[in-house]
Amino acid sequence: MHSRCTKREKGYNAGKKGSGIKRHIAVDTNGLIHAIQITTANITDREGAIQMCERHKKALDKVTNIRFCCKVF
């Protein structure tokens, strides 16, 4: 995702050769959103997902399985 606002903190993703922000979203099997974490582009997807889970422990307390790109981690 490209960040249009230059006043906010942005990061650089060397893999995609771009700067901006990333959105990490936790949904249930029905697609209902339970948690959202926005990070700078220099944070890896894995780190962003971990930050989201730690920050939203209360909303995700009944989670038993986490899937990332169809892989369990």
For the chain, give every domain's residue range. Answer: 11-72
pLDDT at 18: 62
Q: Which pLDDT tens digits describe the chain residue by residue (73 residues)?
A: 454 555 556 666 666 666 688 888 888 888 899 999 999 888 888 899 899 999 999 988 888 887 765 555 4
**Cα-based torsion angle of the residue sequence 39, 45, 49, 54 in order, rounded to the nearest 10 degrees:** -60
- The pLDDT assigned to 56 comes to 92
Rounded to whole angstroms, the Cα distance separating 12 from 22 reads: 11
Strand bridging mode 67-68 / 71-72: antiparallel
Task: Name the token pair of 21.
Answer: 């922000």
Please give the torsion angle defined by the CA atoms of residues 69, 36, 24 and 7, in that order, rounded to the nearest 10 degrees.
Answer: 170
